[in-house]
Homo-oligomer: A and B are copies of this chain.
Amino acid sequence: MKKIKIGLLGFGTVGQGVWKILNSNMDEIISKCGYEIEIKKILVKDINKKRCVDVPKEILTTNSDDIFYDEEIKIIVELIGGAHPAKEYIIKAAECKKHIVTANKLVVASFADEIFKAVNENNVMIYYEASVGGGIPIIKGINESLTANKIKEITGIVNGTTNYILTKMTDEGLEFEEALKQAQNLGYAEADPTSDVEGFDAVYKLAIMASLSFNTSVDINSIYREGIGRIKAVDIEYAKRFGYVIKLLAIAKEEDNLELRVHPAMVEKNHPIANVGDSFNAIFIKGNAVGDLLLCGRGAGDLPTGSAVVSDIISIIRNNFDVPYNFNYEVNSSKMPIKQSKEFISKYYIRLDVKDQAGVLGQIANIFGQHNISILSVTQDVFAEHKVNLVFVTHDAKYGNIVDSLEKIKTLNSVNGIENVIRIYEFN
Protein backbone atom coordinates (compact mmCIF):
# COMPACT_ATOMS: atom_id res chain seq x y z
CA MET A 1 0.00 0.00 0.00
CA LYS A 2 1.30 3.45 -0.92
CA LYS A 3 1.68 5.60 2.14
CA ILE A 4 1.62 9.33 2.80
CA LYS A 5 3.15 10.76 5.94
CA ILE A 6 1.80 13.76 7.75
CA GLY A 7 2.76 15.82 10.79
CA LEU A 8 0.43 17.34 13.38
CA LEU A 9 1.07 20.60 15.17
CA GLY A 10 -0.87 20.30 18.41
CA PHE A 11 -2.67 17.33 19.91
CA GLY A 12 -5.73 18.60 21.75
CA THR A 13 -9.34 17.64 21.17
CA VAL A 14 -9.25 17.86 17.38
CA GLY A 15 -5.81 16.27 17.05
CA GLN A 16 -6.95 13.29 19.06
CA GLY A 17 -10.10 13.14 16.91
CA VAL A 18 -7.88 12.95 13.82
CA TRP A 19 -5.89 10.16 15.45
CA LYS A 20 -9.06 8.21 16.26
CA ILE A 21 -10.48 8.58 12.75
CA LEU A 22 -7.25 7.48 11.09
CA ASN A 23 -7.24 4.45 13.36
CA SER A 24 -10.84 3.42 12.91
CA ASN A 25 -11.59 4.34 9.28
CA MET A 26 -8.37 3.56 7.40
CA ASP A 27 -10.02 1.09 4.99
CA GLU A 28 -12.54 3.71 3.88
CA ILE A 29 -9.80 6.31 3.62
CA ILE A 30 -7.62 4.10 1.45
CA SER A 31 -10.57 3.36 -0.83
CA LYS A 32 -11.16 7.11 -1.20
CA CYS A 33 -7.61 8.27 -1.88
CA GLY A 34 -5.49 5.26 -2.70
CA TYR A 35 -3.02 5.95 0.11
CA GLU A 36 -2.58 4.93 3.69
CA ILE A 37 -2.15 8.02 5.86
CA GLU A 38 0.43 7.83 8.63
CA ILE A 39 0.98 10.40 11.36
CA LYS A 40 4.77 10.50 11.53
CA LYS A 41 5.27 13.26 14.10
CA ILE A 42 3.15 15.29 16.48
CA LEU A 43 4.27 18.57 18.02
CA VAL A 44 3.20 18.79 21.67
CA LYS A 45 4.12 20.95 24.66
CA ASP A 46 4.54 18.06 27.04
CA ILE A 47 5.45 14.60 25.84
CA ASN A 48 4.49 12.96 29.11
CA LYS A 49 1.04 14.47 29.46
CA LYS A 50 -1.74 11.91 29.96
CA ARG A 51 -3.95 11.67 26.88
CA CYS A 52 -7.23 9.96 25.96
CA VAL A 53 -5.63 8.11 23.06
CA ASP A 54 -2.67 5.79 23.16
CA VAL A 55 0.11 7.29 21.05
CA PRO A 56 3.66 5.90 20.85
CA LYS A 57 5.94 8.36 22.61
CA GLU A 58 8.55 8.29 19.85
CA ILE A 59 6.26 10.14 17.43
CA LEU A 60 5.75 13.03 19.87
CA THR A 61 8.16 15.94 19.73
CA THR A 62 8.51 19.35 21.33
CA ASN A 63 10.62 20.66 18.44
CA SER A 64 8.62 21.91 15.46
CA ASP A 65 11.67 21.60 13.19
CA ASP A 66 11.33 17.84 13.47
CA ILE A 67 8.19 18.27 11.40
CA PHE A 68 9.02 21.22 9.13
CA TYR A 69 12.33 19.70 7.99
CA ASP A 70 11.27 16.08 7.70
CA GLU A 71 11.50 15.31 3.97
CA GLU A 72 9.04 12.47 4.27
CA ILE A 73 6.26 14.63 5.68
CA LYS A 74 4.15 16.01 2.84
CA ILE A 75 1.24 17.54 4.76
CA ILE A 76 1.27 19.54 7.98
CA VAL A 77 -1.91 19.79 10.03
CA GLU A 78 -2.07 22.86 12.27
CA LEU A 79 -4.28 22.28 15.29
CA ILE A 80 -2.72 24.39 18.02
CA GLY A 81 -5.33 27.17 17.69
CA GLY A 82 -4.89 30.83 18.64
CA ALA A 83 -3.14 33.48 16.59
CA HIS A 84 0.53 32.88 17.39
CA PRO A 85 2.59 30.90 16.69
CA ALA A 86 -0.10 29.19 14.60
CA LYS A 87 0.11 31.79 11.85
CA GLU A 88 3.92 31.64 11.74
CA TYR A 89 3.80 27.83 11.66
CA ILE A 90 1.42 27.84 8.71
CA ILE A 91 3.62 30.22 6.75
CA LYS A 92 6.71 28.23 7.61
CA ALA A 93 5.01 25.03 6.51
CA ALA A 94 4.32 26.64 3.13
CA GLU A 95 7.93 27.78 2.86
CA CYS A 96 9.02 24.21 3.60
CA LYS A 97 6.81 23.12 0.66
CA LYS A 98 4.37 21.26 2.83
CA HIS A 99 0.70 21.24 2.06
CA ILE A 100 -1.39 22.52 4.95
CA VAL A 101 -4.62 21.64 6.69
CA THR A 102 -5.83 23.84 9.51
CA ALA A 103 -8.85 24.10 11.78
CA ASN A 104 -7.84 27.56 12.96
CA LYS A 105 -10.64 30.07 12.33
CA LEU A 106 -8.83 32.91 14.06
CA VAL A 107 -5.76 32.63 11.87
CA VAL A 108 -7.64 32.12 8.62
CA ALA A 109 -9.98 35.02 9.40
CA SER A 110 -7.23 37.38 10.54
CA PHE A 111 -4.28 36.62 8.27
CA ALA A 112 -5.83 35.27 5.07
CA ASP A 113 -3.87 37.61 2.80
CA GLU A 114 -0.46 36.68 4.20
CA ILE A 115 -1.27 33.00 4.36
CA PHE A 116 -2.63 32.70 0.83
CA LYS A 117 0.33 34.66 -0.49
CA ALA A 118 2.77 32.24 1.14
CA VAL A 119 0.78 29.26 -0.05
CA ASN A 120 0.55 30.47 -3.64
CA GLU A 121 4.19 31.49 -3.83
CA ASN A 122 5.27 28.08 -2.64
CA ASN A 123 2.83 26.16 -4.82
CA VAL A 124 1.28 24.27 -1.98
CA MET A 125 -2.33 23.76 -1.04
CA ILE A 126 -4.14 24.88 2.09
CA TYR A 127 -7.48 23.44 3.21
CA TYR A 128 -9.42 24.72 6.20
CA GLU A 129 -12.85 23.10 6.13
CA ALA A 130 -12.65 22.50 9.89
CA SER A 131 -12.30 26.21 10.63
CA VAL A 132 -16.03 26.83 10.14
CA GLY A 133 -18.92 24.61 11.17
CA GLY A 134 -16.93 21.57 12.29
CA GLY A 135 -17.89 18.68 10.03
CA ILE A 136 -20.34 20.67 7.89
CA PRO A 137 -18.95 20.91 4.34
CA ILE A 138 -19.39 24.65 4.08
CA ILE A 139 -15.99 25.70 2.77
CA LYS A 140 -15.96 23.06 0.04
CA GLY A 141 -19.63 23.89 -0.48
CA ILE A 142 -18.81 27.50 -1.31
CA ASN A 143 -15.49 26.82 -3.04
CA GLU A 144 -16.41 23.82 -5.11
CA SER A 145 -20.13 23.08 -5.20
CA LEU A 146 -21.58 26.56 -5.60
CA THR A 147 -19.01 27.95 -8.01
CA ALA A 148 -21.70 28.53 -10.62
CA ASN A 149 -23.44 31.05 -8.35
CA LYS A 150 -23.39 34.66 -7.38
CA ILE A 151 -23.92 34.25 -3.66
CA LYS A 152 -26.37 36.79 -2.26
CA GLU A 153 -26.47 35.79 1.38
CA ILE A 154 -24.86 33.46 3.88
CA THR A 155 -26.40 33.35 7.34
CA GLY A 156 -25.88 30.82 10.03
CA ILE A 157 -25.75 29.50 13.52
CA VAL A 158 -22.00 28.93 13.64
CA ASN A 159 -21.32 28.75 17.35
CA GLY A 160 -22.36 25.56 19.10
CA THR A 161 -21.82 26.84 22.64
CA THR A 162 -24.28 29.70 22.34
CA ASN A 163 -26.75 27.51 20.47
CA TYR A 164 -26.59 25.01 23.32
CA ILE A 165 -27.18 27.80 25.86
CA LEU A 166 -30.08 29.31 23.93
CA THR A 167 -31.63 25.87 23.39
CA LYS A 168 -31.47 25.16 27.14
CA MET A 169 -33.01 28.55 27.86
CA THR A 170 -35.77 27.88 25.34
CA ASP A 171 -36.55 24.30 26.32
CA GLU A 172 -36.18 24.60 30.08
CA GLY A 173 -36.84 28.25 30.80
CA LEU A 174 -33.37 28.72 32.30
CA GLU A 175 -31.70 32.08 32.73
CA PHE A 176 -28.51 32.69 30.76
CA GLU A 177 -26.20 32.20 33.75
CA GLU A 178 -27.67 28.80 34.63
CA ALA A 179 -27.54 27.56 31.05
CA LEU A 180 -23.94 28.77 30.73
CA LYS A 181 -22.99 26.86 33.86
CA GLN A 182 -24.51 23.68 32.45
CA ALA A 183 -22.65 24.21 29.18
CA GLN A 184 -19.41 24.64 31.10
CA ASN A 185 -20.04 21.48 33.13
CA LEU A 186 -20.55 19.52 29.91
CA GLY A 187 -17.42 20.94 28.30
CA TYR A 188 -19.45 22.84 25.68
CA ALA A 189 -18.26 26.18 27.06
CA GLU A 190 -14.81 27.29 28.20
CA ALA A 191 -14.05 28.49 31.72
CA ASP A 192 -13.70 31.93 30.12
CA PRO A 193 -16.65 31.86 27.72
CA THR A 194 -16.11 35.33 26.25
CA SER A 195 -15.11 34.27 22.75
CA ASP A 196 -18.25 32.19 22.29
CA VAL A 197 -20.78 34.16 24.31
CA GLU A 198 -19.77 37.58 23.06
CA GLY A 199 -19.81 36.44 19.43
CA PHE A 200 -16.09 36.69 18.60
CA ASP A 201 -15.92 33.07 17.49
CA ALA A 202 -18.89 33.65 15.18
CA VAL A 203 -17.22 36.78 13.81
CA TYR A 204 -14.12 34.82 12.73
CA LYS A 205 -16.25 32.20 11.02
CA LEU A 206 -18.40 34.81 9.32
CA ALA A 207 -15.30 36.59 8.04
CA ILE A 208 -14.09 33.37 6.39
CA MET A 209 -17.45 32.51 4.86
CA ALA A 210 -18.07 36.05 3.63
CA SER A 211 -14.60 36.40 2.11
CA LEU A 212 -15.12 33.26 0.06
CA SER A 213 -18.75 33.93 -0.81
CA PHE A 214 -18.32 37.51 -1.93
CA ASN A 215 -14.77 37.38 -3.27
CA THR A 216 -13.64 40.06 -0.92
CA SER A 217 -11.19 40.49 1.89
CA VAL A 218 -13.21 40.90 5.09
CA ASP A 219 -11.65 42.70 8.04
CA ILE A 220 -12.90 41.06 11.22
CA ASN A 221 -13.13 44.49 12.82
CA SER A 222 -15.68 45.59 10.25
CA ILE A 223 -18.20 43.02 11.49
CA TYR A 224 -20.97 44.30 13.78
CA ARG A 225 -21.09 42.14 16.91
CA GLU A 226 -23.48 41.57 19.83
CA GLY A 227 -23.34 38.59 22.21
CA ILE A 228 -26.10 36.68 23.94
CA GLY A 229 -25.34 37.71 27.53
CA ARG A 230 -28.23 40.17 27.67
CA ILE A 231 -30.91 37.63 26.69
CA LYS A 232 -33.24 36.89 29.60
CA ALA A 233 -35.67 34.03 30.12
CA VAL A 234 -38.47 36.55 29.75
CA ASP A 235 -37.25 37.51 26.25
CA ILE A 236 -37.30 33.86 25.27
CA GLU A 237 -40.87 33.67 26.59
CA TYR A 238 -41.98 36.65 24.53
CA ALA A 239 -40.26 35.21 21.47
CA LYS A 240 -42.28 32.02 21.91
CA ARG A 241 -45.47 33.97 22.34
CA PHE A 242 -44.83 35.80 19.08
CA GLY A 243 -43.90 32.60 17.20
CA TYR A 244 -40.13 33.00 17.25
CA VAL A 245 -37.02 31.26 18.54
CA ILE A 246 -33.91 33.21 19.55
CA LYS A 247 -30.65 32.21 17.85
CA LEU A 248 -27.21 33.80 17.61
CA LEU A 249 -26.93 34.51 13.89
CA ALA A 250 -23.92 35.38 11.78
CA ILE A 251 -25.22 37.23 8.74
CA ALA A 252 -23.50 38.29 5.52
CA LYS A 253 -25.52 39.62 2.66
CA GLU A 254 -25.08 41.78 -0.34
CA GLU A 255 -27.54 44.62 -0.58
CA ASP A 256 -25.92 47.54 -2.38
CA ASN A 257 -22.92 46.98 -0.16
CA LEU A 258 -21.95 44.16 2.16
CA GLU A 259 -23.84 43.74 5.41
CA LEU A 260 -21.90 41.82 8.06
CA ARG A 261 -23.30 41.21 11.51
CA VAL A 262 -23.31 38.79 14.41
CA HIS A 263 -26.11 39.17 16.96
CA PRO A 264 -28.94 37.30 18.62
CA ALA A 265 -32.09 37.34 16.54
CA MET A 266 -35.62 36.04 16.66
CA VAL A 267 -36.34 33.68 13.77
CA GLU A 268 -39.71 32.25 12.81
CA LYS A 269 -40.32 29.03 14.67
CA ASN A 270 -41.21 27.15 11.49
CA HIS A 271 -38.03 28.01 9.64
CA PRO A 272 -35.80 24.91 9.50
CA ILE A 273 -32.99 26.85 11.20
CA ALA A 274 -35.22 27.47 14.25
CA ASN A 275 -35.29 23.76 15.00
CA VAL A 276 -31.52 23.37 14.88
CA GLY A 277 -30.92 23.02 18.57
CA ASP A 278 -28.36 21.76 21.03
CA SER A 279 -24.77 22.37 19.94
CA PHE A 280 -25.61 21.96 16.25
CA ASN A 281 -24.64 24.53 13.66
CA ALA A 282 -26.67 25.48 10.59
CA ILE A 283 -25.70 27.60 7.64
CA PHE A 284 -28.16 29.06 5.17
CA ILE A 285 -26.91 30.14 1.74
CA LYS A 286 -28.75 31.95 -1.01
CA GLY A 287 -27.22 31.74 -4.48
CA ASN A 288 -28.65 33.30 -7.62
CA ALA A 289 -28.76 29.87 -9.30
CA VAL A 290 -29.03 27.31 -6.52
CA GLY A 291 -31.64 29.31 -4.58
CA ASP A 292 -31.89 28.54 -0.86
CA LEU A 293 -29.60 25.96 0.67
CA LEU A 294 -29.28 24.91 4.30
CA LEU A 295 -26.49 22.82 5.79
CA CYS A 296 -26.71 21.59 9.41
CA GLY A 297 -24.44 19.48 11.53
CA ARG A 298 -22.18 19.28 14.53
CA GLY A 299 -20.11 22.44 14.62
CA ALA A 300 -17.50 21.24 17.07
CA GLY A 301 -16.12 18.19 18.85
CA ASP A 302 -13.20 15.87 18.26
CA LEU A 303 -14.77 13.61 15.63
CA PRO A 304 -16.90 16.08 13.62
CA THR A 305 -14.00 18.53 13.36
CA GLY A 306 -11.60 15.62 12.81
CA SER A 307 -13.88 14.49 9.97
CA ALA A 308 -13.32 17.80 8.20
CA VAL A 309 -9.55 17.70 8.83
CA VAL A 310 -9.11 14.14 7.54
CA SER A 311 -11.34 14.78 4.52
CA ASP A 312 -9.16 17.81 3.73
CA ILE A 313 -6.05 15.63 3.92
CA ILE A 314 -7.70 13.24 1.47
CA SER A 315 -8.56 16.15 -0.84
CA ILE A 316 -4.91 17.19 -0.92
CA ILE A 317 -3.82 13.67 -1.74
CA ARG A 318 -6.37 13.38 -4.53
CA ASN A 319 -5.36 16.77 -5.94
CA ASN A 320 -1.95 15.39 -6.94
CA PHE A 321 0.02 16.28 -3.86
CA ASP A 322 3.38 15.75 -5.58
CA VAL A 323 2.82 17.68 -8.78
CA PRO A 324 2.67 21.47 -8.89
CA TYR A 325 -0.78 22.61 -7.92
CA ASN A 326 -2.47 24.18 -10.89
CA PHE A 327 -5.27 26.19 -9.43
CA ASN A 328 -4.62 29.05 -7.05
CA TYR A 329 -7.34 30.97 -5.39
CA GLU A 330 -6.79 34.61 -5.98
CA VAL A 331 -5.77 36.54 -2.93
CA ASN A 332 -8.63 38.97 -2.56
CA SER A 333 -7.08 42.35 -2.21
CA SER A 334 -10.37 43.91 -3.22
CA LYS A 335 -12.59 45.15 -0.45
CA MET A 336 -16.31 45.51 -0.87
CA PRO A 337 -17.77 48.51 0.94
CA ILE A 338 -19.29 47.52 4.27
CA LYS A 339 -22.69 48.76 5.36
CA GLN A 340 -22.72 50.85 8.56
CA SER A 341 -24.67 49.35 11.44
CA LYS A 342 -26.99 52.34 11.66
CA GLU A 343 -28.19 51.44 8.15
CA PHE A 344 -29.16 47.86 9.09
CA ILE A 345 -32.85 47.33 8.50
CA SER A 346 -34.96 44.80 10.34
CA LYS A 347 -37.94 44.38 12.57
CA TYR A 348 -37.12 44.92 16.23
CA TYR A 349 -38.34 43.48 19.49
CA ILE A 350 -37.98 46.13 22.20
CA ARG A 351 -38.73 45.37 25.83
CA LEU A 352 -39.07 48.30 28.23
CA ASP A 353 -39.57 48.34 31.98
CA VAL A 354 -42.09 51.15 32.55
CA LYS A 355 -44.14 52.58 35.39
CA ASP A 356 -47.76 51.48 35.45
CA GLN A 357 -49.27 54.90 34.86
CA ALA A 358 -51.47 56.64 32.32
CA GLY A 359 -49.93 58.17 29.20
CA VAL A 360 -46.75 56.09 29.04
CA LEU A 361 -47.67 54.27 25.88
CA GLY A 362 -48.59 57.48 24.11
CA GLN A 363 -45.31 59.18 25.00
CA ILE A 364 -43.25 56.27 23.75
CA ALA A 365 -45.29 55.73 20.62
CA ASN A 366 -44.85 59.39 19.77
CA ILE A 367 -41.10 59.17 19.99
CA PHE A 368 -41.05 56.08 17.75
CA GLY A 369 -43.27 57.93 15.29
CA GLN A 370 -40.94 60.93 15.24
CA HIS A 371 -38.10 58.58 14.29
CA ASN A 372 -39.99 56.95 11.45
CA ILE A 373 -40.47 53.72 13.35
CA SER A 374 -43.78 52.04 12.73
CA ILE A 375 -45.15 49.69 15.39
CA LEU A 376 -46.42 46.22 14.49
CA SER A 377 -47.60 45.18 17.95
CA VAL A 378 -47.55 46.23 21.60
CA THR A 379 -47.83 43.84 24.52
CA GLN A 380 -48.11 44.91 28.10
CA ASP A 381 -47.70 42.68 31.17
CA VAL A 382 -47.63 43.73 34.79
CA PHE A 383 -44.73 41.90 36.43
CA ALA A 384 -44.55 43.64 39.81
CA GLU A 385 -46.51 46.27 41.65
CA HIS A 386 -46.65 49.39 39.47
CA LYS A 387 -44.16 47.84 37.06
CA VAL A 388 -44.95 46.76 33.54
CA ASN A 389 -43.10 45.04 30.73
CA LEU A 390 -43.98 46.98 27.65
CA VAL A 391 -42.94 45.06 24.56
CA PHE A 392 -42.93 46.59 21.11
CA VAL A 393 -42.45 44.78 17.85
CA THR A 394 -41.66 47.21 15.06
CA HIS A 395 -42.03 47.02 11.33
CA ASP A 396 -38.80 47.23 9.36
CA ALA A 397 -36.74 50.07 10.78
CA LYS A 398 -33.22 51.43 10.51
CA TYR A 399 -30.99 50.61 13.45
CA GLY A 400 -29.83 54.22 13.62
CA ASN A 401 -33.41 55.33 14.17
CA ILE A 402 -33.94 52.68 16.82
CA VAL A 403 -30.86 53.84 18.72
CA ASP A 404 -31.84 57.50 18.47
CA SER A 405 -35.42 56.87 19.61
CA LEU A 406 -34.32 54.73 22.55
CA GLU A 407 -31.92 57.48 23.65
CA LYS A 408 -34.96 59.72 24.01
CA ILE A 409 -37.27 57.08 25.44
CA LYS A 410 -34.90 56.28 28.27
CA THR A 411 -35.00 59.88 29.46
CA LEU A 412 -38.76 59.63 30.06
CA ASN A 413 -39.78 59.67 33.72
CA SER A 414 -42.19 56.83 33.21
CA VAL A 415 -39.49 54.53 31.80
CA ASN A 416 -37.40 52.58 34.29
CA GLY A 417 -35.16 51.10 31.64
CA ILE A 418 -34.62 49.70 28.16
CA GLU A 419 -34.49 46.02 29.05
CA ASN A 420 -33.63 44.53 25.71
CA VAL A 421 -33.53 45.15 21.97
CA ILE A 422 -33.44 42.09 19.73
CA ARG A 423 -33.64 41.96 15.97
CA ILE A 424 -36.23 39.82 14.22
CA TYR A 425 -34.61 38.12 11.25
CA GLU A 426 -36.71 37.16 8.27
CA PHE A 427 -35.23 34.81 5.70
CA ASN A 428 -36.48 35.83 2.31
The interface bits of chain A over 108-136 (1 if a CB of B lies within 8 angstroms of the residue's CB, else 0) are 00000000000000000000010000111
Tell me if A257 is interfacial: C-beta within 8 Å of chain B.
Answer: no
Interface SS of A by simple majority: mixed
CA distance A37 to B137 in the complex (A): 26
A120 to chain B, nearest CB (A): 13
A293 touches B149 (CB 8 A): no
A280 to chain B, nearest CB (A): 8
Oligomer copy total: 2
B320 touches A304 (CB 8 A): no
Nearest-neighbor residue (CB-CB) of A319 within chain B: B319
Give 27 A-B contacts (CB < 8 Å), ordered by A residue: A21-B148, A28-B215, A29-B147, A32-B147, A33-B327, A134-B290, A135-B287, A135-B289, A136-B293, A137-B144, A137-B146, A140-B144, A141-B145, A144-B311, A146-B307, A147-B310, A147-B314, A148-B306, A271-B275, A272-B296, A289-B304, A291-B304, A292-B298, A293-B295, A293-B297, A296-B296, A320-B326
Q: Which of B31, B275, B294, B297 contacts A297 (CB 8 A)?
A: B294
Nearest-neighbor residue (CB-CB) of A295 within chain B: B295
B140 touches A145 (CB 8 A): yes
Nearest-neighbor residue (CB-CB) of A313 within chain B: B148
CA distance A105 to B310 in the complex (A): 29
Nearest-neighbor residue (CB-CB) of A314 within chain B: B147
With A135-B291, A288-B25, A289-B304 as contacts: A314 and B141 at CB distance below 8 Å: no
Interface residues on A, range: 35 or more
A303 touches B327 (CB 8 A): no
A140 to chain B, nearest CB (A): 5
Nearest-neighbor residue (CB-CB) of A287 within chain B: B307
Tell me if A330 is interfacial: C-beta within 8 Å of chain B.
Answer: yes
Nearest-neighbor residue (CB-CB) of A306 within chain B: B289
A290 touches B303 (CB 8 A): yes
Residues of B contacting A318 with CB < 8 Å?
A: 326-327
A311 touches B145 (CB 8 A): yes
Nearest-neighbor residue (CB-CB) of A294 within chain B: B296
A270 to chain B, nearest CB (A): 6
Residues of B contacting A32 with CB < 8 Å?
A: 147
Nearest-neighbor residue (CB-CB) of A215 within chain B: B31
Q: Pick from A29, A288, A313 the residue with the most CB of B within 10 Å.
A: A288
Tell me if A24 is interfacial: C-beta within 8 Å of chain B.
Answer: yes
A307 touches B148 (CB 8 A): yes
Residues of B contacting A145 with CB < 8 Å?
A: 129, 137, 140-141, 308, 311
